Structure 1
Amino acid sequence: MLSRVRGELYLLLATLCAAVGWLASKFVLQEISSGAFIAGRFILASLLLLPFCYRRLRALPSILLVKSALVGLLLAFSIHIWVYSVRITNNLSEGAFIMSLAMIIAPLTRWLILNVRPNRAFWLSLPVAILGMVLLTLKNGWHIDISQWYFLLSSFLLSIHFVLNKHLSDEIDSYSSICIQMLFVGMTGILLFLVEEKTNSNISEPVIIWFLVSVFIATSLRYLVQSLGQYKVKPEVSSLIMILEPVWTLILSLIILGESFGMQKLLGAAAIVLSLVTYILVSKKYP
């Protein structure tokens, strides 16, 4: 019982860390280029996680290293698009709710990739998710901001990553896999940094602090406690707790960034959360 409660607290902390990461990224990208941010954040995070999996990494067969690297490259594509979306968006919390749709999109991508048909929960939750997306984006008629399109694309790529990473998890432990994938995400950041404009050399102290927050709290600590929590808690409970990430992001955005979030958008966000809850609970009853 105590172990389960501790696991739930780990997951709750992970959602808070992830929400803080949204704000940290928004502040950092005001002064640091996307490539430099991705390279610094994910390479440092990978090095911080290395002590937890160093011995297991040394014992991994080459084929698993290659598989993890390829899945990491897919994650990199999603993150690069997400970073660009965060840079240009005027409403961070909307992006957080759109990104949370990856859990709903994943059964569809699994169907396309592995030919595994979605269960009943997917078809029940999909219309609710679509309704939520419509309410989030409907502004004086049908209008979707360019950043929302990019968030949706990033969410789709992340759903593919979910499917392939789940398949990979049967062969490699989570710490080793995360460490390798973060390293390769960071390496793609270096490549982007080499082709884009140089980062402003006069980086303010608050931005440096936010960058460190994104590395230590939003990335390293987040994935560490998330892995610990998921190990101790049933998958359906874990998924329910992880839904809190966009909710925390909304609250922090309202308080710190002063974002506006009217009743229509609030209903849209609630519909997306409802679709995720429906998917998890019905999946549990009808696997």
Structure 2
Amino acid sequence: MNLTDARKADLLLVVVTLLAGIGWIFSKEAVLLMPPLLFMACRFLLAGAILCIAGHRQIARLARNQLRRAAGVGLVFGVAMSFWISGLFLTENVGEGAFLTSLGVVFVPVIARIVFSEAQPMSTWVALPVAISGLALLSLRNGFRPEPGQVLFVLAALIFAFYFTLNTRAANTRIIQRRSGVEQRKERVPALALTAIALVTVGLVTLALSTLRESWQPTIDHFNPMILVWVSLSAILGTAGRFFVQTYAQSLSINSHGVVIMVLEPVWVAIFAAGWFGEVMSGMQAAGCSLIFGALLINRWSSVRKLLLRR
């Protein structure tokens, strides 16, 4: 990989974090006008359809086992997104929600250790108490009375961590040792096909939940044309566009670049929320978010160190 590709990848990954950040704003605007789960269904079904068209050749070549694994990843992703959008619907501070959701990055190695018995570096166990301290500052500012939106964001972060782990395992070839001593290779699911199927599954999960829990009639009776704008922007830019650019950038970049740059997402969300909604964080909120951001960097310390050494 030449230097031009490295810089191009860096810039593209910054674009990814920008798209992710602005996606929070589009989503918040949308849930002010329509039921949150219905919005997620529309957003992900549209985004999934776009990626299915782009990756139809990959999808057609998938074996039944690969389809099942991709759908399983999407099912977990759908549950996480349901908690996330419910938290976004209830929260009064979008920036704070972004930092709480980013805890999923810290939880990933913990989930990998507990569920899949994967060894983890010391930085993981150092980052965890720092993240918990940041969470405490956010939830204890009025005594121990965490707000419903905060609880939903943290639950979403935990499930996102499980999703990230499953997604990584599905996207990579693995060898499974059978008891009989015969090795079985599980073929990886190509990134575009995996993403497309996962997004469609999220759309179906949230559509089912919306059908059971939400009333669509008020939205239909008082339809606001801006709904089409926010859904389209969220699906095309915040979802399909984001994942497409991220996949392409990661094909150009070494891993250390990506994991460090992606830490910028909650920072962008806080900046956009301040400019768009006029949000202002209290000192305790800012301190809590800073600790969570610090935990993200500690958790990715090996990548940060490699990046610094390269420079």
TM over 0.5: yes
1:255 Cα deviation from its structure 2 partner: 1.1
Residue 49 of structure 2 is aligned to residue 47 of structure 1: yes
What's the counterpart of residue 282 of structure 1? Answer: 302
Contact in 2 for aligned 1:14/1:225 (Cα 8 Å): yes
Residue 91 of structure 2 is aligned to residue 89 of structure 1: yes
Aligned counterpart for 1:154 among listed residues 153, 156, 160: 156
Other structure's SS at 1:141 match: coil
Contact in 2 for aligned 1:75/1:181 (Cα 8 Å): yes
Aligned counterpart for 1:175 among listed residues 160, 180, 192: 192
What's the counterpart of residue 136 of structure 2? Answer: 134
Aligned counterpart for 2:231 among listed residues 211, 222, 226: 211
What's the counterpart of residue 203 of structure 2? Answer: 186
Report 1:226-237 matches (<5 A): 226-237=246-257
What's the counterpart of residue 108 of structure 2? Answer: 106
Contact in 1 for aligned 2:297/2:304 (Cα 8 Å): no
1:188 Cα deviation from its structure 2 partner: 1.5
1:207 Cα deviation from its structure 2 partner: 3.2
Aligned counterpart for 2:216 among listed residues 185, 198, 203: 198
Q: 1:210 to 1:179 in 2, by over 3 A?
A: same
What's the counterpart of residue 38 of structure 1? Answer: 40
Structure having the higher Rg = 2
**What is the rounded CA distance, in whole Å, between the counterparts of 2:97 and 2:231 in structure 1?**
20
1:210 Cα deviation from its structure 2 partner: 1.6
Other structure's SS at 1:140 match: coil
1:73 Cα deviation from its structure 2 partner: 0.3
What's the counterpart of residue 255 of structure 1? Answer: 275
Aligned counterpart for 1:19 among listed residues 12, 16, 21: 21
**What is the rounded CA distance, in whole Å, between the counterparts of 2:12 and 2:302 in structure 1?**
25
Aligned partner letter, 1:235: N
What's the counterpart of residue 62 of structure 2? Answer: 60
**What is the rounded CA distance, in whole Å, between the counterparts of 2:21 and 2:237 in structure 1?**
10
| CA offsets 1:189-240 (integer angstroms, 9 cap, x no match) | 2212322211512332333212211011100111111111122112222111
TM-score, scaled relative to structure 1 = 0.95
**What is the rounded CA distance, in whole Å, between the counterparts of 1:219 and 1:114 in structure 2?**
29
Number of aligned pairs? 286
What's the counterpart of residue 119 of structure 2? Answer: 117
Other structure's SS at 1:216 match: helix
| CA offsets 1:138-188 (integer angstroms, 9 cap, x no match) | 213333111111100010000001111111111111111000000111111
**What is the rounded CA distance, in whole Å, between the counterparts of 2:6 and 2:50 in structure 1?**
26
Gaps of 5+ in 1: none
Aligned partner letter, 1:147: G
Aligned partner letter, 1:198: W
Aligned partner letter, 2:300: I
Identical counterparts, % of pairs: 27
What's the counterpart of residue 293 of structure 2? Answer: 273
Aligned counterpart for 1:70 among listed residues 65, 69, 72: 72
Other structure's SS at 2:281 match: coil
Gaps of 5+ in 2: 173-187, 307-311
Other structure's SS at 1:243 match: helix
Q: 1:51 to 1:4 in 2, by over 3 A?
A: farther
Greater shift, 204-213 or 260-269, is seen at: 204-213
Greater shift, 244-253 or 229-238, is seen at: 229-238
Contact in 2 for aligned 1:121/1:283 (Cα 8 Å): no
Residue 266 of structure 2 is aligned to residue 264 of structure 1: no
Aligned partner letter, 2:50: L
**What is the rounded CA distance, in whole Å, between the counterparts of 2:54 and 2:232 in structure 1?**
20
Greater shift, 178-187 or 31-40, is seen at: 31-40
Contact in 2 for aligned 1:120/1:283 (Cα 8 Å): no
